[in-house]
Structure 1
Amino acid sequence: MSFDYDLFVIGGGSGGVRAARWAAMAGAKVGLCEEFRYGGTCVIRGCVPKKLMVFASSFSEAAEDAEGFGWTMSARNFDWKAFIDKKDREIDRLEAVYSRNLESSGVSIFRERGVVKGPNSVELASGETVSAGHILIATGGYAFAPDVPGIEHVITSNEIFHLDEQPKRMLIVGGGYIACEFAGIMNGLGTEVTQFYRGAQILRGFDDEVRGHIAEEMRKKGINLHVGRDVVSIEKKEAGLVVKCTDGTFSEYDQILYATGRKPNTSGLGLEDVGVKLDRNGAVEVDKFSQTAVPSIYAVGDVTDRVNLTPVAIREGMAFAETVFRDNPTPADHELIPTAVFTQPEIGTIGLTQEEARESHDIEIYRSTFRPMFHAFADRDQRMLMKLIVDKPTQKILGAHIVGPAAGEMIQMVGIAVKMGATKQDFDNTMAVHPTAAEELVTMREPVPG
């Protein structure tokens, strides 16, 4: 049977673009549609603009630290509009790069929505129907906000990148990494930040000691972090947004950001109509090769709700193309993924938490908390945490957790060692680089008692 395309991709984010290019490079005829902007959540309204905001927000502390090193700094004012305008230009540039790379790879791109109409059929918003030997769903996720009275007055992580003015008083609702990252960003830019999380501690799923350390450091920086508290209702008044809390108190803000999770973007795609199975959360169910219940339809990235990280979506897209178009069956490897969270201070982590490890292993814990040389000299009260989770019988590193400056950079390198099966002895045998914070990873000699 003859098709218009060997592969048609719905979704122009990191996973879909990588899969399309990799398949095209293997000789496949590929089409791709995207209804919003090429680059997906990460490039357009996620990791990239967020990291630019992290950079911008860090200069307030950098200026203070400079004075601790003897510099006399002039008056400091942050120009929100100037930053947002420059950020927008950079995102435009990156989107153009994504489109240009697709076209140079021979991929036909469509700037419109696509809906699955059959195992080998996609209908575009223009009314055109295209056929394909394989269809790849790579539509990502969307920001979710609960049904609270007055929820229409809040913003999500989508809108925060496009505010006309910087809020003076901001409430952030949520305790995941997006909420905690934006709390640090806005606080660093000079906004008075309050954060509510209904659970007992922020960053559920991370190592408990890391969670407590970050919460303490966030509060030291001036973030009004409240756990065990949630929003009952929101009312818009002339002076601002009035929030009624679960403890019966009222508070007022200029802006409220809800960062309460994301859901797979599968609504209205016609997937269940053609036999693709979705789970209770709306995620596309796939096997280890990213294949759905319909043999010709695959899915990668956040829409599958496996591990929702940009590098994972990219790797899944490449594995799909290897499997289908290069005759090289390749499952995506979701084990031991190094991860960075750009809180302030930032987190780098790989492997098991202490809580996870002790359920199935006899473990030793190696831990160091200290004030880095830079912060000590600048007289800043900020401490680093480094922690290794070790399997006692084999001495294999089960998990590594870092909190502090450049934690993300460090965990990328540590991740290679842990992925290779490094032991505590391997770390001990490695010569320290002095003076650095990272040398603590190879100089922790005694396990924590008990």
Structure 2
Amino acid sequence: MEHRCLVVTGRLLEGQDADAVQARMAQAFGMEMADFRKRVFERAPLIIRRGLDQDAANAQATQLRQLGVEADVLPDDAPLIWLLRDVTLRGPLPETALGRYARSGDQWCHDGGQQWFPWDVPTSRSSSLPPPIPEPADHPLPPPLPVEAQEIDGSLPPPLPDETVAFEPPPLPPARRPPVSRWAIAATCLAIVSLIWTTIAPVALVLALVCLLVLMRRKDIRGRGWSVTALVIALAGTGIHFMPAGPDPGKVAQQPAPRRPLQPLPAPAAAAPSKTSTSQVPVAAASTRAPAAASSAAAPVAHAAAPASPSTAATVVATPTRCTRENVQPHNDEDRFLLTGGQRLLTGRSQRKGDTYVAEAATGLDQACRPDDVQLYVFRRGVFVGTALEEAASKASARLADFELSDDLHLRINLAPCKAEICEAPIARQVELLHDAGGWVLKRP
């Protein structure tokens, strides 16, 4: 018994719409529209049924034509072949139908084969045959042969059986990809290393630029992306290499400020009855913090320059009223620094914020034996920076109401201007602590 196969050519009958035909066929075969288009119409012409008898094959072909698509019934006794048309696999098809469906420019391959053959359209042999012998004019021509009409009955095609043979197309001819330039990869690695060791950044930049220029001319080698990446990274490394290095923040913060000793105060006039001060003694030290060895080495000098006890060093004498005032006891090295020399009296008002310390001290007493000529002394990490007021505050010029450290770099002062011992409302001033190349300095308003 001869078997037949059913082939869908992919061509539509006259007057049919492609979307409507594909939708009807997908519904008839119980498949999704996208899946049916991908598996059938994009691979047409192809065999959709095999092993049919003549009647079943003709009936199903008629049903497909009623749906609007062209279908053929072919003998199922030849090997299968595949067509490659416009980089698209089509088939499988019987090898005997190759001349029926193949076009000029197609390639074909046996099912299971590995080699593709170009398809050449066969030339017609009618031109090489001799012309027919003319018949005598009085001889009658035979009647034409009758043409049998094909009847078409309409019904939906049966669903594809589960045992339908699944065809695997042969592999496409391998496409050879151009190799990647190893120099471009090496240039990228060198550029990454140049971010850490910036000395080689110019070398990496030159190598990346050369690789990019060469690859732009050589189209048969890949690696332009690697070269561009290496060029960008090498540019960054070169910029870091030639960028001027700023000062190390750690070293700047640890740099000690130069020691600035307190200047000795001028001796008061002998005829001034309103204010008195202690005798003038040179300042012995400029910093309140020093290593133990330095303090022990300077011990004789300190004993020679300062009184034996801070409590007894601040006794104010030589006033007409003989005022005697006990100085406030020092609480830290900064206070003891201010009492060195016996020329200043601690008022007891001080503040500390972080590494900044501000203390109030007076250089004299008024007639009521109260501190006068008040000044604010600013220290940074135990080192004297300077005075916050340009001139000491006294009842004759100004009165220091209060002061406050907003943070370790900003000091707010409330100073009330006075005239004839009558003071006005306090005025707020801001003093800022700055660090420059010479150390810490005070910026007054």
What range describes the TM-score normalised by the shorter chain of this pair? under 0.3
Higher helix proportion = 1
Scaled by the length of structure 2, the TM-score of the pair is 0.21
Q: Which has the higher contact order (CA 8 A, sep 6+)?
A: 1
